[in-house]
Structure 1
């Protein structure tokens, strides 16, 4: 299952039933979980921990030193969960000691060709980064978020769960959960209703989220007034609570 031309450091730990293609290079301090498939011409450096059943396509660079000029070779980490698909020329970098010392990626994500995740990012589960998506350092991407092709995410931005970033957008502010944004700079264009419908959200929840969007974006409220109005809802559905908390968690301010 390991091609004879692959170069694997003796310090690397390779799980059961792992396939490693021709001319792939696996560095020291790399752990690869069971049933992973690593295509030819992949480079994986460490410290990096990769979970089970991940598929990494040719010419991807995983766990390399970050591009932050403050980085001086410290042994920071990249942690990857299970069942991710990492397509051609994707770059996933390790963290820095100025943050948590690690970049963390969850499970069941799709990184399309030429996508980039910089140092100290946190990517949730079931996310899609379309072709050539660029995520700068220290960003947080919530579960089920979709980032359209050629979109760019400014450092320290937060993208809420189930949010949708349109193709070619530049995100300079935080995006609350469920919200669709588009443009340069990215501005809100409603809730991601198509995505919520596909994921089985109830009609009641989607109706409540439409109302919550109007309160924040359409009724001329200050953000403080809008959040107070949403907090007073009876009943306050869990989905709306997630929307509220994603706004409250913002450090850069939300796109409005």
Structure 2
């Protein structure tokens, strides 16, 4: 068995409160390179193992009935990585979409994307557009792939769109509020993430969903992304369910 192949695992979600599941889970998938280095493997093998982890987590979110899953697949800063590694990441994206699209569609998953897609390689753009079009009328889990995405760039773009409306006389400055702003983000129409999971123990947002995460519960786990499995996901949800979400107010207890 290749080191990135995941063994079937019995999932115990019996003590999850299914009435209090997060509607929207966001994940910063971190640690592929470290996972590979610990095993004496090339970093590319870590990224391939990470794709297998994503496959399992998408299935589990769909099984649980989570409404939205947003995963940080490739940031605007990731272009700074070695050209070979970027090429592998884009090839894996293309491979994932090509291999998984039939199953995603059969399970009513809606594939969406966040970020500047025009800068992706043409082959990746083609496969992504196929997935977006084929699944757009589905009614299951919404899978947001954040690709060439940066939270600051998203906010700047939203400001530019709103500024254009003001210049055209279609919107008055005093009419701009948080709802107006949110309507011009890439996640318009979706609930903000209830739960942010970051793997590998790192304590930072890394320019991910900076507006949307304002009141999200954050769970940082030590597992490197390729080791993050269905059990880890359920444990993170259990931790979320123990939180007292106050949204800036006082505790209800």
- State TM-score, norm by structure 1: 0.23
Report which of the two structures shows the higher radius of gyration computed on alpha carbons. Answer: 1
Q: Which has the higher strand share?
A: 1
Which one has more relative contact order, counting CA pairs under 8 Å at least 6 apart?
A: 2
Using structure 2 for the length normalisation, give the TM-score. 0.23
